Amino acid sequence: MKNNRARILVCLLVAVFVVSVGAAWGQDIKARMRDRLPAIVALKAAGVVGENNQGYLTILKPPTDKKALVDAENQDRKIIYQAIARKENTTPELVGRRRALQIAEKADSGAWIQKADGKWVQK
């Protein structure tokens, strides 16, 4: 169930991006995100990373050797948010905040989520 939710979230986000930017480039990002997904899900389940209120992952506790993985995921999310913002004539920051709300709503029990006020809570 956890992996299905995560896969659905990734697919929806990438689908919007593919339509916005172009199939070939979007497929590259989709493949990278899909490949990272099992590791990200495991990090979330272990409480190593959480979803912040800007739509990005945040490392909450060691091991910090996962920084490159988290950075790569956040970079792809940033590209997607920028593309969606251009299409919707808004800012990437607003897209990220909206996405953070969606992620928080669908997050699995036990996931760490940053609320709008900056406080971290475990769902």
pLDDT-wise least confident of 36-40, 59-63, 89-93, 119-123: 59-63
Q: Cα(57)–Cα(100) distance, rounded to whole angstroms?
A: 10
Give the mean model confidence (pLDDT) for residues 1-13: 56
**Model-level pTM?**
0.80
Phi, psi of 108 (to 5 degrees): -70, 155
pLDDT, tens digit, for every residue of 50-86? 999 999 999 999 877 899 999 999 999 999 999 999 9
SS (H, E, C) the chain: CHHHHHHHHHHHHHHHHHHHHCHHHHHHHHHHHHHHHHHHHHHHHCCCEEECCCCCEEECCCCHHHHHHHHHHHHHHHHHHHHHHHHHCCCHHHHHHHHHHHHHHHCCCCCEEECCCCCEEEC
Domain ranges of the chain: 2-122
Question: Residue 6 pLDDT more than 70?
Answer: no
Q: Read off the pLDDT of residues 9-50 as tens digits, 9 standing for 90 and up.
A: 555 555 555 555 455 556 899 899 999 999 999 999 999 999
